[in-house]
Amino acid sequence: DRITKYLVPPYSGPQLVVSRVSKHFAIQVGSRQQTVSIDRLKPAFLLAEIQPFRVSFSI
């Protein structure tokens, strides 16, 4: 293990999942593809993008 600077997260996620096989995921990290065990992954809960809406009214 290397010593990291303060306030640097130990991960670089979220990453794109390319494929899944029983206990392994193939993920896209930068321009490379890596195979990672499911035990080393954390789920990412992403918020859906909310579309702005317009309210029209007349006076």
Domain borders along the chain are 1-41
Peptide bond before 9: cis, by omega within 30 degrees of 0? Answer: no
Span of 2-6, 19-23, 31-35 with lowest mean pLDDT: 2-6
Q: Which residues make Cβ contacts (< 8 Å) with residue 45, sequence separation at least 6? A: none
Which pLDDT band, with edges at 50, 70 and 90, does 53 fall under? low
15 exposed, middle or buried (CB, 10 Å; 0-12, 13-18, 19+)? middle
- What value does the mean pLDDT of the chain take? 80
**β-pair partners for 36:** 25
Torsional sign, CA 26, 2, 43, 31: negative
Token digits of residue 23: 């206990």
